[in-house]
Chain A
Amino acid sequence: MTTPNGVATTTGELTLVSRQMQVREWLLAAVFFLCAFVAVLAVALIFTFVGYKALPIVTEVGLWPFLFGRVWASSEGLYGILPLIEGSIVVTLGALAIGTPLAVGTAIFLSEIASPGVRAIVRPAVELLAGIPSVVYGFFGVVMLRPLIGRLTDGIGFGPLTTWIILAIMIVPTIAALSEDALQSIPMGIREASYAMGATQWQTIHKVVVPAAKIGIVDAIILGMGRAVGETMAVLMLIGGAAVFFEGIGSPMSTLTSQIVMDMGYSTGTHRTALFAMAAILFVISMGLVLAVRLISRDKE
């Protein structure tokens, strides 16, 4: 970025060539800018389009009855999404509670403990875990985990517990990879200073390294949370599809994402508007989480 355009313009001959070059270079820069701007454009388009489809909910149902209505029963014309919001919260918090220790533990292990040989196995495994499609996780949950949980809870096996476990496995790679990056960015000297003072490896980890990488780890957890809130197919296949409030870890519930897919196929009119409004809420939540990460990271600087 130090040399905006490399060609000097001292002699007349060169200036002529340069003018042409300069115009071309400028045009190219403009094209690149437009490409970069596609991202902004896309977000704006999603926001306006989903918002446009969702907006009639304010007049057709009303914002308050929609957000705080306690009954979701589209066949009876009741569109209260409070139970679905509760479902999304229950599912997300449970998955985080199970997944976070596992993920952060794995990240610390990778960054601080593992020998290069072990690391060469664990790190790719974590990355592969991230690559498995959510529908495969859902399928695995339905055929393998669901009967097991059903026997354990003496019920059917659809519900928060099954969803938590599968969702936790799904968010581990996200949180682990980002946490490891944060841990790796801590300078070696800090660790050496800790060891020099006679600290054990664990003392160094939990008193020095982890606190130093705290912001990066929190960011990782927030992004994992975003993945859990927005996860659709696996949750849909495991949560049980009953739009009711929490009744127990083995009782079916429903979430914003799963209800959208369940109903989308046959919805019309206000029902469909409500589904788009739920999508709009999900979009706002995901953007809010990204914003939170930015604000936290900015504080660091």
Chain B
Amino acid sequence: MDKRIANNIALAILWLAASITVLLLGAIILYVFYNGVRVLSIEFILTRPHGVNAEGGIGPTIVATLYVTGLSMLICTPIAVLAAVYLAEYAKQGRMVSTIRFAADSLASVPSIVMGLFGFALFVEAMGIGLSMLSAALALSLLMLPIVMRATEEAIRAVPRYIRWGSYGMGATKWQTVSRVVLPAAAPRIITGIVLATGRAVGETAVVFYTMGQAIHIPVSPLESGRPMTVHLYLLAVDGINLPAAYGTALLLMIMILAFNLSARWILKRYRKV
């Protein structure tokens, strides 16, 4: 066969693969949007679900989702950033570093149901925190940890060496160099990593299923339980009675995650040139 024909066929197939991927995304977004936009309203966002079929809005579930996501971000970020500082700036390559990396990779690939059961066994039961925002946030932050760690480490490594030399040359200590020079320079990419990890936490279901509880309730203290949007969507979907509310919840969830993704992109674009 003529190699040019083979070439064209192969390229066409690759085009097709990429088109299918994009079309799938378009199909899912359009389908959820088309069905969800009809129920979406200010009322749907603000009011409580009522009755056995969860009619009305989904307000408390939005609050619970934002609450637990914010809390897990607060827990995860300092640890993950400092861990990355250690790996990128302080550690000498060796067995300890490769152990830490292996642990981080493993943590990143722990199935979310395993993390959910672990969170239930340790935080909810053994530590007695109970089904609560805190239990869920602790479990979620373990899930976010490797993502933020990796993003931060890459960001720090991307900061040019000579900037550090300049700092050292002026007599700065290592910590001064890291905290005043390296981290600010790496900040946009670190924030992007945090935002992306947070987006992942918003969409997480299996972990919060066993650590947060399912009561529809606006949480105030971190020790209270609540039902996040993902669990609400799951319960509506498997119950299969009030599907309009399920579409609305799915759409809001997608909008939130889209917003996280786009803002991460925007941060990166906006500050990269600086």
A-B contact count (CB 8 A): 266
* A217 on the B face (CB < 8 A): no
Which of A61-69, A73-81, A149-157, A202-210 is near enough to bind chain B?
Answer: A202-210
Using a Cβ–Cβ cut-off of 8 Å, how many residues does chain B contribute to the interface with A? 94
**Contacting A139 at CB < 8 Å: which of B114, B149, B237, B261?**
B237
Contact at A135–B238, with CB atoms within 8 Å?
A: no
* B66 on the A face (CB < 8 A): no
* B44 on the A face (CB < 8 A): no
How distant is B214 from chain A, measured CB to nearest CB, in Å?
A: 10
Contact at B15–A109, with CB atoms within 8 Å?
A: yes
| Across-interface contacts of A135 in B (CB, < 8 A) | 203, 205, 230, 233-234, 237
How distant is A2 from chain B, measured CB to nearest CB, in Å?
A: 9
* B41 on the A face (CB < 8 A): no
Contact at B109–A290, with CB atoms within 8 Å?
A: yes
**Contacting A132 at CB < 8 Å: which of B22, B121, B203?**
B203
C-alpha gap A266/B13 in the complex (Å) = 49
Contact at A109–B205, with CB atoms within 8 Å?
A: no
* B38 on the A face (CB < 8 A): no
Contact at A230–B105, with CB atoms within 8 Å?
A: no
How distant is B163 from chain A, measured CB to nearest CB, in Å?
A: 14
Which of B53-61, B77-85, B182-190, B217-225 is near enough to bind chain A?
Answer: B77-85
**Contacting A279 at CB < 8 Å: which of B31, B113, B174?**
B113
* B266 on the A face (CB < 8 A): no
Contact at A131–B6, with CB atoms within 8 Å?
A: no
* B151 on the A face (CB < 8 A): no
Chain A positions 127 through 166: 1 when the CB is less than 8 Å from some CB of chain B, otherwise 0: 1110111111111101110000000000000000000000
Contact at A129–B257, with CB atoms within 8 Å?
A: no
Contact at B173–A105, with CB atoms within 8 Å?
A: no
C-alpha gap A148/B82 in the complex (Å) = 50
Contact at B82–A32, with CB atoms within 8 Å?
A: yes
Interface residues in A1-60 (C-beta closer than 8 Å to B): 1, 3-7, 21, 24-25, 28-29, 31-33, 35-40, 42-43, 45-46, 49-50, 53
* B271 on the A face (CB < 8 A): no
Contact at B83–A125, with CB atoms within 8 Å?
A: no
Contact at A39–B146, with CB atoms within 8 Å?
A: yes
CB nearest to A176 among chain B residues: B21
How distant is B236 from chain A, measured CB to nearest CB, in Å?
A: 9
Contact at A203–B7, with CB atoms within 8 Å?
A: yes
CB nearest to A276 among chain B residues: B117
Contact at B107–A42, with CB atoms within 8 Å?
A: yes
Query: Can you list 28 pairs linking A and B with CB atoms under 8 Å apart?
Result: A5-B173, A6-B172, A25-B174, A32-B90, A39-B103, A39-B146, A46-B114, A104-B17, A106-B18, A131-B203, A131-B258, A132-B254, A134-B205, A135-B203, A135-B205, A136-B32, A142-B237, A142-B240, A143-B243, A172-B24, A202-B11, A203-B7, A230-B113, A232-B113, A276-B117, A286-B111, A287-B106, A291-B102
Q: Which 9 A-B pairs have the closest CB atoms?
A: A230-B111, A105-B17, A133-B203, A32-B86, A36-B83, A200-B7, A202-B10, A35-B82, A109-B18
Could you list which residues of chain A lie within 8 angstroms of chain B, going by C-beta atoms?
Answer: 1, 3-7, 21, 24-25, 28-29, 31-33, 35-40, 42-43, 45-46, 49-50, 53, 101-106, 108-110, 112-114, 121-122, 124-129, 131-140, 142-144, 169, 172, 176, 200-203, 205-206, 223, 226-227, 229-233, 237, 257, 260-261, 264, 275-276, 279, 282-283, 286-287, 289-291, 293-294
4 new A-B contacts, CB < 8 A, other than A39-B107, A121-B22, A131-B203, are A33-B86, A35-B80, A36-B91, A46-B118
